[in-house]
Amino acid sequence: MSVLILLIIVSICIAGGFLIAFLWGSGDGQFDDVYSPARRILFDDEYESNQNPNE
């Protein structure tokens, strides 16, 4: 029975850590723009060719 209590406490600590990381990330603006990174990976070659117009 004591193992069960220990596992519950450990799982609550891990869940709290993930919650803190999520709140820190959302407060830092990590999830503000979810559209551009998905599009940027599709047009990566076009972006490189615009930087070197002589090639």
Q: What's this model's pTM, rounded to 2 decimal places?
A: 0.56
Structure confidence at residue 31 (pLDDT): 83
Structure confidence at residue 43 (pLDDT): 77
Q: What is the DSSP letter of 33?
A: -
Contact 22, 15 (CB under 8 A): no
Q: Name the one residue in this structure whose structure tokens are 């990566």.
A: 44
Structure confidence at residue 52 (pLDDT): 58
Distance CA 13, CA 7 (A): 10
Task: Encode pLDDT of 6-20 as tens digits.
Answer: 999 999 999 999 999
Residues of the chain scoring pLDDT < 70 = 44-55
